């Protein structure tokens, strides 16, 4: 196993880079990170729109949410990969395809988390903020959302962990992320499938568990702040 790591660690980390496109673990982390960074503000906006008092805004968003939620990620991946170039006339790279799909899915799921949190907050919070003269936007920003996001943190982390794992579906369109590279290594070595996939599993575990721990620590710090007695 040590020999395996010794031979292939660089390939596992970055794929064929710099001879070819960036791949491996670096690509997986980059894709997950970019998806999260892009999906967070989008999910926030969609979530706020979802609970908008104006039906002209909330209904279309509800429609999008229902459709995306009811379709497998893999299927959307195929759609974007095969149909989008036909529409735009430009070939979309595997990485770009994966990123688009992840952002669409993440923002929809995050929107649901945000919307659920906003609905669950006692109505008096928005009312008292408005009664002080704060506008709807200011009341959301300073009163509603800070509480919603704090309560929703465990669900949000759940979604982020799912995102990291979902990048492995890129395998199916030949995206050279870490799962794809692992199977390449397996083909090259041939006799050490258990070890190769064990290392792969461990890699995902470290990424996801690390993120959960980070979120847990953040959550505990926030909680200690609000619960502390004077």
Site residues (vs another protein, CB under 8 A): 122, 124-125, 127-135, 138, 142-143, 146-147, 150, 225-230
Least CB distance to another protein at residue 130 (A): 7
- Residues in CB range of 45: below 8 A, 6 or more apart: none
Residue 8 structure tokens:
């292939």
The smaller minimum CB distance to another protein, of residues 3 and 127, is found at 127
Quick one: 64 or 134, whose CB is closer to another protein? 134
Question: Would you say 155 or 168 has its CB closer to another protein?
Answer: 155
- For residue 177, the 8-state DSSP code is B
- Report the residue number, 72 or 123, with the smaller CB distance to another protein: 123
Secondary structure (3-state) at 191: coil
| Least distance CB 152 / another protein (angstroms) | 13
Q: DSSP per residue over 12-67, as a string?
A: HHHBTTTTS-B-HHHHHHHHHHHHHHHHHHHHHHHHHHHT-S-HHHHHHHHHHHHH
Minimum CB separation of residue 228 from another protein in Å reads: 7
CB of 137 to another protein, least distance (A): 10
């Amino acid at each position: 196993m040590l020999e395996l790591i010794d031979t292939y660690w660089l390939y596992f980390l970055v794929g064929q880079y710099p001879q070819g496109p960036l791949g491996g673990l670096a690509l997986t982390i980059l894709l997950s990170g970019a998806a999260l960074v892009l999906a967070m503000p989008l999910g926030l906006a969609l979530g706020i729109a979802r609970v908008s008092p104006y039906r002209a805004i909330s209904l279309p968003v509800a429609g999008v949410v229902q459709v995306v939620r009811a379709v497998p990620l893999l299927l959307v991946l195929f759609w974007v990969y095969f149909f989008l170039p036909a529409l735009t006339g430009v070939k979309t790279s595997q990485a770009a395809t994966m990123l688009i799909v992840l952002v669409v899915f993440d923002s929809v799921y995050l929107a649901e988390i945000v919307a659920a949190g906003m609905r669950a907050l006692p109505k008096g919070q928005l009312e008292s903020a408005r009664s002080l003269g704060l506008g709807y936007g200011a009341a959301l920003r300073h009163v509603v959302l800070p509480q919603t996001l704090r309560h929703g943190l465990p669900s949000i982390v759940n979604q982020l962990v799912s995102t990291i794992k979902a990048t492995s579906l890129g395998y199916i369109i030949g995206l050279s992320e870490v799962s794809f590279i692992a199977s390449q290594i397996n083909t090259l070595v041939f006799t050490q499938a258990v070890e190769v996939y064990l290392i792969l599993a461990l890699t995902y575990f470290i990424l996801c568990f690390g993120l959960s721990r980070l979120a847990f620590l953040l959550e505990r710090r926030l909680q200690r702040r609000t619960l502390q007695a004077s």
